[in-house]
Each structure stands twice: as structure tokens, then as C-alpha cells.
Amino acid sequence: MWNWLRKPVAVHQRVLDYENEHSIDKQCLASKASYLVLDFETTGLDAKKHHIVSAGWVRISDCRIQLNSAVYQLVKSPASVGQSAVIHGLHNSQLQQGIELEELLSLLLQELKGSVLVSHHSALELNFLKHSCQNSFGRSPAFKAVDTLKLELYKMQLKGGPVAQNSLSLSACLARYHLPEVTEHHALSDAFGCAQLLLAQLKTRGASCTLAELFQQSR
């Protein structure tokens, strides 16, 4: 929490590389784009106070989830996971075998180049990404994500009627599309579930849907 006292660090090369090389054509058809579906498990909801304990991601290209791209990483946590272990089931001892946060971010920046970031309730992933990059690299690129939760909300609001509580949780969304359940609060399973959900959502949006529309509906 004393980070603001630190000397500003030179912007890390990783961030510069990312900013130079990452580009996405928003007019691209949503079905043709390449996606990286990401999920973090954290010690809490506040990116300023809490930490990432694990990350899982999987890639979608040509509207196919490519399981050979599936990655699951534990992250060394600077503080105890405390009570959050109840949710994600990861304990301090396991996390000591994880990689450093900086290493994870480098990996992610590399993976994200040219791909659209996707999450369910992406605000959390974006906040944690931003803060972590800020802390580790001195600056964070401007991340943008497609949010499957918002896509779902958009669809529901179009239909009209009240949106019931909990009806937007990942498991509720998967159930609505008759998709198989996933183990909740496991970063890779959640990322996989989210990827399945995105595939289903893309189908309902038709072939002409562009990335711009997805970003629009994710706001």
C-alpha cells in the first residue's frame, strides 16, 4: 500500500512491446477473430488490496476452443490467501510453487498480442491486470475486453423484463445455453466455461456481428 512512495520505474519493455504490436481490427467479423479467454482467482475483489492467486486461459480461433492453448498458472502471493482459500481452494503452500506475478504478466502480454481479451465479468480481470502491470512494470497498457456477462445482460435487456439476481453468474448462463457445467472458482475451468459461453453467444448474434459490436455490448 506504500506503492505511491516508490520511485517511478522505467516503463518495462514488455509493456512497450505490447503497445507496439497489439492491434485489433474492430471491423473484423466476430467469428473470425482470435480470442484469449481469461479468468483470475484472487484473494478478494479489490485490485488495490488483493492479489491474483491463479490464472487460467484458453484460446479461441476460428470459433473453436483450442485446448492445446489451455494454460493454468498458480501465482506466488505476497501475502497470505487468508479466508479466500475457502472460495478458490488454494492454500499458501501450493501457491509457493507458483510463478512470480511479473512472470505471469509477461506471459499474458505475450499471449494477448493480436487477440481479444474475454472474461466473464471482465471488470475484475481488467482491474487486476491494470494494477498488477502498473506495480510491476510502471505502466499498464490500455486493456479492453469482451465481457460475456455484459453480452448476456445486453441480450436480456433487449428481450425486456426484469433480470433476476444470479441469472448472470457463469453457471446460470451456461445452464441457459444447455452447456455442461464447470467447476466454479477454478481459473482454468471458469475460463473454459466462459469460452463455451462466448461460442454460444457468437452463434446467437449471427454471422455478420463484428468485434466493434461485441465491445459496444460489453460496456
Partner 1 sequence: MQVQEVVSFLKQTPPFDDLAPHVLESVCRDLSVVYIASGEHLLPEPQLLLIRSGLFALNTEQQRLTHLQSGDFYGYQLLLTGLADPDTILCEEDGLVYFLPQQSFDKLRHQYKNFDLFFQRLFSRRLHLYQSNKQQSTSTLKVADLVTRRKVSIASSNTVQQAALLMTEQRVSCLLIEQDEQLVGILTDRDLRSRVVAKSLPASTTVSEVMTKTPQSIETDRFAFEAIQQMSQYNIHHLPVEQDGKAIGVLTTTDLIRSQQEHPVYLISHIHRQHHSEGLNAITPQVQQLAMQLAEQQIPSYEVSSVLTSIMDALAQSWLQIAEQQLGPAPCVYSWLGFGSQARRDMLPSADQDNALLLEKEPLGAVADYFSAVAEIVCNGLASSGQALCDGHIMASNPELRLSLKGWSNRFAKWLNTPDPQALLSSSIFFDMRLIHGSKALFNVLQQDVLARCKNNELFLYHLAKNATQRQPPLGFFKHFLLEQDGRQRKGLDLKKRGISLITDLVRVYALSAGIHAVNTRERLALLQQQAVLTQRQQQNLQGAFDVLAHLRWQLQAEDLKRGRHLSNLLDPSQLNLLQRHQLKDAFAVIIDEQQVLRQRFCREI
Binding flag, residue 177, partner 1 (CB under 8 A): yes
Kindly identify the residues of this chain, within the stretch 37-96, that bind partner 1 according to CB under 8 A: 58, 63-68, 70-72
216: which DSSP letter?
H
Supply 118's cell numbers.
Answer: 474475454
**CA distances, 79 to each of 44, 92, 105 (Å):** 12, 9, 18
Residue with Cβ nearer partner 1 (15 or 194)? 194
175-183 contacts, C-beta under 8 A, 24 or more apart: none
**Which one of residues 30, 168, 195, 214 is an interface residue with partner 1 (CB under 8 A)?**
195
Cross-strand bridge partners of residue 56: 39, 72
Q: How far is the CB of 15 from partner 1 (least distance, A)?
A: 27
Rounded Cα–Cα distance for residues 217 and 101 (Å) = 31
Residue with Cβ nearer partner 1 (15 or 65)? 65
Coil/strand/helix, residue 35: strand
Q: How far is the CB of 195 from partner 1 (least distance, A)?
A: 8
**Given the rule CB under 8 A, which residues bind partner 1?**
58, 63-68, 70-72, 177-183, 186, 188-189, 192-193, 195-196, 199-200, 202-204
